[in-house]
Amino acid sequence: MASGIAYCLTRPSCEMLDYRIAWGKPKKLKLAPLEIPGMDQTNPDPPLVGFLGSMPLDIMYEVLMNLDYGSTGKVRLLNSSYRRLVDSFPAYGILKKHARQCLRVMRRVKIDLQWSVGQIFTEMCSPRCRTCTDFGPFLFLPTCSRCCYSCLRSRDEYAMAYLSTLKAIFALPESAVERLVAVENVPSCSPMNAVRYKIRFCPCLPLASVRQAYETSLDIYGDEFQLGQAVKHFNKEWRREWDEHLRQGVCYTADGRLVTDMFPSSSDHLSRGPEVQNHNFCYTAEGRLIERPPVLKQIDQMKRIIFDQYRPQKAELISTFLPFWNTRTQTAEPGMYCSACGYLWSVSQCPTPQDIRLFQRAYLSIEIQTHFAECEATKEGFRQHNWKRESRFRRPETYQSTNEDFLITGNIAQAPPLTPQKRKRKRRVSRA
């Protein structure tokens, strides 16, 4: 077997939805004080499991598998019998131990009720990206599907848009909008310049999948011709409302800048200018949100319009890290990266798309040796231990590899843990 040098990431989801970066450190729960009446009283009768106690254990696990993670935790809090039952549930324990970051993000963006424990655990046990054959270390939240970094940045299947924008562009009624999986509380990727401009904090609008909205609209209207007629009607009403609010008074762009400061003439409001090309909405002084209407074009070009103008700057903001659970070895694998491909990407003046893809690609421990046998960078001798990894992320201080690269040789690949352990320094004792 071929040998080479690889590394793991201490925080793989620093560019995606990372709980600590986006929302800070999670708060710890505080215990209730013992002075509350009734807290010191115990129940003399033993707790019962109820109807579930008469069912076989595999059927009880099947019931828990169809519940979402939050409901499973509530079942655990009923009594001690249910607590032992849930703690013995293998899928719940694995998700709680190895996918805690992913579960926190799903709860924060309010889609934890959309997917059950079984669906999340199935994706955790499946290593491959749903749109290619590479290893996918990330989870696309709107569809609860595993994906890789390259597909997340290039595939149209992962295009997102604001929920109100999809409603107007695809002429979706309220009943159809409720069926879409909306992702809320997504942090804005636009920088807020509070020194130069008057800033107002932008509300976090819910996002939804463009493909899901497009397929839903086709199911409602049948064909693209009927959909195009409905879209034109929605756009006319939307354009009239947009122009009316621009004429009424002060409006703000998506990043908090005054529209009147950027375009003094009312006829130039958001009509041109690269600095406001990606602004998706504005809001009045009273706080009412107004979405920017799209340009009327053919329905077959609508998807590309959304992908170019209404997609967030980083589609990775709708994904988070999810390790692969190997059922054979009972271990969680975060993925390994080839050090030679990373070094070749860092020293190349004009890296090719293939070089960028190999730098971004993650491998399993059983397949990275096959990559070493075919890797041109490894064959050329790019096996540097301490090469400067220029981060492709906006926060290079959080995108860090482990302390040292590790050598993979033979049939065994031992990767360091995600969080490297700090060595305790021995204190010198001076003898008098």
- Given this model, what pLDDT does residue 189 score? 47
The more confidently predicted of residues 109 and 125 is: 125
Mean pLDDT score across all residues of the chain: 70
The more confidently predicted of residues 292 and 88 is: 88
d(CA 332, CA 231): 47
Query: Considering only CA atoms, which of 255, 251, 315 is closest in space to residue 280?
Result: 255
- Given this model, what pLDDT does residue 48 score? 58
The more confidently predicted of residues 227 and 254 is: 227
C-alpha dist (Å) from residue 389 to 149, 266, 308, 309, 380: 17, 48, 30, 32, 19
- Given this model, what pLDDT does residue 191 score? 34
- Given this model, what pLDDT does residue 122 score? 94
Q: What is the mean pLDDT of residues 145-154?
A: 87
- Given this model, what pLDDT does residue 47 score? 55
Every domain of the chain and the residues it spans: 4-27+44-153+317-408, 160-310
pLDDT at residue 275 greater than cutoff 60: no
Identify the weakest region by mean pLDDT among 15-19, 220-224, 351-355, 422-426: 422-426
In which order are the strands placed within the sheet that holds 145-147?
145-147, 138-140, 319-321
- Given this model, what pLDDT does residue 115 score? 92
- Given this model, what pLDDT does residue 374 score? 84
pLDDT at residue 333 greater than cutoff 70: yes
d(CA 75, CA 71): 6
- Given this model, what pLDDT does residue 282 score? 61
Q: What pLDDT, in 10s, does the model give residues 9-30?
A: 777 776 677 766 666 666 665 6
d(CA 191, CA 345): 28
What share of the chain in percent tops pLDDT 90?
A: 13
In which order are the strands placed within the sheet that holds 289-291?
251-252, 281-284, 289-291
* Centroid of chain to Cα 325: 19
∠ Cα 161 144 66 (to 5°): 135
E strands, 182-224, in order: 207-209
Tokens 């070493």 -> residue = 372
Q: What is the mean pLDDT of residues 344-349?
A: 75
Q: What pLDDT, in 10s, does the model give residues 69-94?
A: 989 988 888 888 888 889 999 999 99
